[in-house]
Amino acid sequence: MNEGPIRLPKERMALLFAVMLVTAAGNTAMQSVMPSIGTRLGIADVWVSLAYSWSALLWMLMAPFWARRSDRRGRKAMMALGVIGFILSFTLCGIILHFGLNGWFSAVMTMSLFALARSFYGLLGSAAPPAVQAYVASRTGRADRTKALSLVASSFGLGTVLGPALAPLMILPGMGLVGPFVIFAAMGVIVLVLLRTRLPNDDPRFAARGEVMAAPFSASSNPRMPDDDEGHPDGSPDELPAAEPLHAGADRLRWSDRRLRPWLLAGLIGGHSQTMVLGVIGFLLLDRLGLRGDPDAAAGPVGLVLMAGAAATLLAQWGLIPMLSMGPRTSTLWGMGLAAFGILPIAVGQDLHTIAVGFAIASLGFGMFRPGFTSGASLAVSPGEQGQAAGVVTSVNGAAYIVAPAIGVLLYNHSPWVAWGVMEALAISVVILCVFTLRKDQV
């Protein structure tokens, strides 16, 4: 029997907000301190970057699986699983890094165990974001759904700003650089207890509508609200059985589809440029600010720059794009143009201010670029192919995080100018691709 529209209580929304906020903030806080930890261990920068790759691959592979499973097992169960994965990963990472920094493990053993512990977040943590969005979407009417989903997306984005800001404050006596891991793991436990005790059990009767998000890494995160109209024509929750495919007869959408090909190519090339910048920025600050000899002092400057980038990304996605009514091609074109411009001061800057400004400009551009190519791919296909298109776009987003950051660091250690030249060339390639292959936005 169809239920009327439901408005989620404020207490329940606050709890869902906290799930997204803590996991996103914890991950970007970790990114702020890892360059310093790698330097303290005396391990090559590229191995620090590669330690994230396995987790990113698992996130890309597992997030769609958990999104589908939430229909059968319930959204609360998947949220709890995601938070458990976050707690387990951060606790193990903190313990491993503590013993490694104190000489109990060799540097190679420390980073190998760190990469293994980190994989729990990609494996299990990816269950939480789509479950949170599906929970909200299936329990709110049309009048409240847009506002509620926007709030959920904002928590994910806000976390990417707060993480780098809080990380330096969590480097406490007795814990040192592993402080953020300990504190965010404790915060995760609090969220899990509240989730288990305060969120009512849910009956997975309605098809999930959660967006499969990219792993939250500073300005790279792409919080995007699922379309309000999709699957909810009357403002009520979906009535399709969870196991019933929405478009059973539709042909499988492929990456080579001519409608999607230019958008996916733009997303793949531009995504590699962005993740290379993100992979290098922490190590660049260590070098340019002369902090290799005092890595503990680097968490503050790295956090400041990452926070500036995350804030610029949110400005683009929540401010400029809606205010200027940018279409997919315009957003992608101008976004990558700004990114190419922002890479220049990062490459030549010798002080914190110049590098931070350049990173903010580049992040502003990347923040315009990602929604641009995502919406372009969505508009290129029919309504019945939206689910498949979203899956393909998610794969493209995830692919850029697997090896590109490590490649960027490897090139940077070989020759900084080669690294910046490759990043710049990739960004400009997307601009050229937009000009000559993407159709102009309809007015």
What percentage of the chain has pLDDT greater than the value 70?
78
Rounded to the nearest angstrom, the gap between the alpha carbon of residue 111 and the centroid of all alpha carbons in its chain is 22
Residues 6 or more apart in contact with residue 313 via CB below 8 angstroms: 157, 160, 219, 221, 363, 364, 366, 367
Of the pLDDT bands very low, low, confident and very high (cuts 50, 70, 90), residue 245 is very low
Max Cα-Cα span within the chain: 67
Lowest mean pLDDT among 58-72, 151-165, 247-261: 247-261
Tokens 């919080």 correspond to: 223
pLDDT digits (tens, 9 = 90+) for 101-129: 888 988 889 988 998 998 888 888 878 87
Structure tokens at 214: 């990219």
3-state secondary structure of 94: helix
Of the pLDDT bands very low, low, confident and very high (cuts 50, 70, 90), residue 298 is confident
Strands of 234-384, DSSP E:
none
Average pLDDT, the chain: 79
pLDDT digits (tens, 9 = 90+) for 324-352: 888 888 889 999 999 999 999 999 999 99
Indicate if the pLDDT at residue 377 is higher than 50. yes
269: exposed, middle or buried (C-beta count within 10 Å: 0-12, 13-18, 19+)? buried
- Using an 8 Å Cβ cutoff, are 133 and 209 in contact? yes
Lowest mean pLDDT among 215-219, 305-309, 352-356, 379-383: 215-219
3-state secondary structure of 294: coil
Average of pLDDT values for 255-284? 85
Q: How many helices (H) and strands (E) does the chain have?
A: 16, 0
In 3-state terms the chain splits into helix, strand, coil percentages (rounded to 5) of 75, 0, 25
Rg of the chain on CA atoms, in Å: 21
Strands of 385-438, DSSP E:
none
Of the pLDDT bands very low, low, confident and very high (cuts 50, 70, 90), residue 430 is very high
Q: Which residue has the higher pLDDT, 381 or 208?
A: 381
User: What pLDDT does 95 receive?
Assistant: 93
Structure tokens at 117: 């512990």
User: What pLDDT does 339 receive?
Assistant: 94
User: What pLDDT does 121 receive?
Assistant: 87
- Other Cβ atoms closer than 10 A to 167: 28
Rounded Cα gap, residues 384 and 380, in angstroms: 12
Q: Of 17, 277, 255, which Cα lies nearest the Cα of 136? A: 17
Of the pLDDT bands very low, low, confident and very high (cuts 50, 70, 90), residue 235 is very low
User: What pLDDT does 241 receive?
Assistant: 38
